[in-house]
Amino acid sequence: MLDFAFSMPTRILFGSGARSLLERELDEQPVAKVLLVYGRESARLNGSYDDTTGLLEARGIAYLEHPGCREDPDDEFVGAGAELALDHGVDFVLAIGGGSVIDAAKAIALLAANQARDIWAYHTARQDFTAPALPLGVVLTTTGTGTEVNGGFVIRRRADNEKIAFSSLSTRPRFAYCNPDYTITLPPQVLADNYTDILSHLLEQYFSMEDSTGIVDAIILEAIHYLLKNTPALQTWKDSYGFRANTMFVSTLSLSYLFSCGKKVPWILHYLTHALAARRPISHGASLRVVMPGWLVWLSGKPAYATRTRQLSDKLALSDASQLGQHFLDHFALMGCDPHPLLSDTEKAQMVARLSTDTDFLARANLDARDLRCILDWTHHAC
């Protein structure tokens, strides 16, 4: 295990009856004017919008709204939000929604604090944000994201669909109100995407670059086993508060930095999915289901990951690690997802070409173009 520092300053206000905790948290935060960031319809359908605005109005806290965040928030949306915050003297950003909304809120809070409106200009110029982000909070309405407790966020450039992951510890939310009942209205496909995303976060951190195992890996293995064992329960999601609560909490923990303690995580799977999303319109969860099985098959043939693939196979009662890819495909079917969509040869070539230019990523993950193509081809035995 490598040396590490760990802290999770975000206060988790968890449960269907945790409204009083949110009330107390709002009273304790130095909030004068809030920018509410949310999506299109879901926040109003699940009741989170009315609950949040009601609490703000009861406390005399002024707010303005920046609605309409779509999946994969883009530079134009966050730029417009930063402009709103700057023009109206906002001192707190509050996200109502899931991963896309929270990522947008983080970018807006960071841009506004640095008197900026164009996040891509910072990326292109390789500039650092000098001022910490405006304080922000989260009212979580989905599972699968994990972004409610970390400083990472992904923003898409609308001009060419390029997606870039940014990171700033100052964007870690002050609090996250996690009410499992807000997830009851999630459509089946969104729920399946969220569930896939949680599995991907756990798997990526489990398959880190170190061969040593310990308590962190033991926790991850139990979490993966729990999710796969309960996959059929997604069909009756709204009827089980306990299942909703456990799924929401493991999602939060999965990207809290806890499962990366003592590890170097290359995030191969997520780099591949970002490259795929630049090629075709596809949800993050769906792109993970395209790439994950081949990645697992590839891992099972790499000596560096032999211990980890064997332990995961044992945990899932599989006789051989080469069965991991098919095992996860079978569980995707239980989620009610479409069958594994095939990548075209053109898409594969474009994805490999794109990722091959990122020499830092290749070095960090100990990959080359041949490895990338093997994952995408799912031709483990030919590699």
Q: HEC string of the chain?
A: CCCCCCCCCCEEEECCCCHHHHHHHHHHCCCCEEEEEECCCHHHHCCHHHHHHHHHHHCCCEEEEECCCCCCCEHHHHHHHHHHHHHHCCCEEEEEECHHHHHHHHHHHHHHHCCCCCHHHHHHHCCCCCCCCCCEEEEECCCCCCHHHCCEEEEECCCCCCEEEEECHHHCCCEEEECHHHHCCCCHHHHHHHHHHHHHHHHHHHCCCCCCCCHHHHHHHHHHHHHHHCHHHHHHHHHCHHHHHHHHHHHHHHCCCHHHCCCCCCCHHHHHHHHHHCCCCCCHHHHHHHHHHHHHHHHHCCHHHHHHHHHHHHHCCCCCHHHHHHHHHHHHHHCCCCCCCCCCHHHHHHHHHHHHCCHHHHHHHCCCHHHHHHHHHCCHHHC
Question: Is residue 123 over pLDDT 90?
Answer: no
Instruction: Give Rg (Cα) of the chain.
Output: 20
Mean pLDDT of 302-315: 93
> For 186-382, which CATH class?
mainly alpha
Does the structure show a pLDDT above 80 at 127? no
Please compute the mean of the pLDDT values over residues 19-27 and round it to a whole number: 92
pLDDT digits (tens, 9 = 90+) for 225-244: 999 999 999 999 999 999 99
Mean pLDDT value of segment 208-215: 78
* pLDDT value, residue 278: 84
The predicted structure's pLDDT at residue 243: 96
| pLDDT reported for residue 265 | 92
Domain with CATH 1.20.1090.10 in the chain: 186-382
Candidate from 58-62, 118-122, 288-292 with smallest mean pLDDT:
118-122
In the chain, CATH 3.40.50.1970 covers 11-182
Lowest-confidence pick of 161-165, 172-176, 236-240, 359-363: 161-165
Residue written as token pair 């009610």: 336
Give residue 157's region: left, alpha or beta (phi > 0; psi -120 to 50).
beta
Least confident of 215-224, 274-283, 290-299: 274-283
pLDDT at 382: 41
Is 1 or 237 the better-scoring residue by pLDDT? 237
Candidate from 3-7, 32-36, 75-79, 255-259 with smallest mean pLDDT: 3-7
- Report d(CA 101, CA 174) in Å as an integer: 16
- The answer on pLDDT for 3 being more than 80 is no
pLDDT band at 334 (very low <50, low <70, confident <90, very high): very high
pLDDT of 380: 41
CATH number of the domain at 11-182, please? 3.40.50.1970
The Cα 29–Cα 107 span in angstroms is 20
Q: Is the pLDDT of residue 126 over 70?
A: no
pLDDT at residue 327 tops 50: yes
**Residues sharing a CB contact under 8 Å with residue 189, sequence separation 6 or more, in sequence order:** 283, 336, 337
pLDDT confidence of residue 109: 97
Tokens of 330: 């079978």
Task: Identify which of 50-59, 158-167, 331-340 has the greatest average pLDDT.
Answer: 50-59
What's the predicted TM-score (pTM) here?
0.90
Question: How far is Cα 36 from Cα 288, in angstroms, rounded to an integer?
Answer: 30
pLDDT > 70 in the chain, percent: 96
The percent of residues above 90 in pLDDT, for the chain, comes to: 76
Instruction: Collect all residues with Cβ–Cβ distance below 8 Å to 85 and sequence separation of at least 6.
Output: 35, 93, 108, 109, 111, 112, 134
Least confidently predicted of 159-173, 185-199, 364-378: 159-173
pLDDT, one tens digit per residue, over 361-378 is: 999 999 999 999 999 998
